[in-house]
Amino acid sequence: MVNPFSVKKIKELDDNSPKKTDSKDPKTIAKLVVDGRYSIPYMSEVIYAEIRDLVYSRDRIMKQHNISANRIQRWLAIHFPEYLGLYTRFDAISGLAVLEKAPLPKDVIALGVNRIRKIWHDKKMRGRGVTEDRAKTLVEAAHNSVGLDGGIGTKSELYMLLGFQHGLSLRRTEDKYRLGIY
């Protein structure tokens, strides 16, 4: 590999001109190679192979994560479309806590405001998104829901999708840590 800094400096020596155009680069690089003024970079195959495998793994996980997120959003659009209007992100922590206990609108209605607040309290959630007003809004949205009703199979599908999504999120975090992306 020819050092780019060397190419820059040698171009001036060729024609004593401060102009450094790209048309002079191939000639200068060839001259440096003929003179033996280049170096072969050291690349450890083990390290680069490991990084390459981690990046491929991360790409696959990201694709699966996006597929899973789209499936969850589709499920919500069919069975509880109002949920997507209440939360800007479908995977909001407070929303997922409620979905784990009450995935369908009829389940949210059965829980009521106080038990939704208790779910948030038990998971030690505090802040703007876990107020009594939010719980009331969620119950009202469930009352007015136009989503399809479902049974055990419908619930188990969401539980499976949420579990898969959670596992992918953990893997994504592990890969970020391994690659040094924080």
Q: Which domain holds residue 20?
A: 4-34
pLDDT in tens, 56-109: 998 999 999 999 999 999 999 999 999 989 888 888 888 899 999 999 999 999
Q: Do residues 101 and 166 both lie within one domain?
A: yes
> Looking at the domain assignment, is residue 156 inside a domain?
yes
Q: Do residues 89 and 8 both lie within one domain?
A: no
Q: Do residues 50 and 27 both lie within one domain?
A: no
- Checking if the pLDDT of 15 tops 70, the result is no
| Residue 14: band (very low, low, confident or very high) from pLDDT cuts 50, 70, 90 | low
> Looking at the domain assignment, is residue 65 inside a domain?
yes
> Looking at the domain assignment, is residue 40 inside a domain?
no
pLDDT in tens, 43-62: 678 888 888 888 899 899 99
8 A C-beta contact, residue 109 and residue 143: yes
Q: What percent of the chain has pLDDT over 90?
A: 38
Span 23-36, mean pLDDT? 79
CATH number of the CATH domain containing 129: 1.10.287.4070
Structure-model confidence comparison of residues 8 and 108, the more confident one: 108
Q: Do residues 65 and 151 both lie within one domain?
A: yes
> Looking at the domain assignment, is residue 89 inside a domain?
yes
Nearest CA to 75 out of 57, 99, 94 is that of 99
13-22, 87-96, 135-144, 168-177: segment of lowest average pLDDT: 13-22
Q: Do residues 101 and 12 both lie within one domain?
A: no
8 A C-beta contact, residue 145 and residue 82: yes
Q: Is the pTM of this model over 0.75?
A: no
DSSP 21-70: -GGGHHHHHHHHHHTT---PPP--HHHHHHHHHHHHHHHHHHHHHHHHHH
Q: How far, in Å, CA of 172 to CA of 126, rounded?
A: 26
Q: How far, in Å, CA of 181 to CA of 58, rounded?
A: 11
What pLDDT is stored for residue 16 in this prediction? 64
Q: Do residues 25 and 101 both lie within one domain?
A: no
Q: What's the structural domain count of the chain? A: 2
Tally helices (H) and strands (E) across the chain: 8, 0
What pLDDT is stored for residue 108 in this prediction? 92
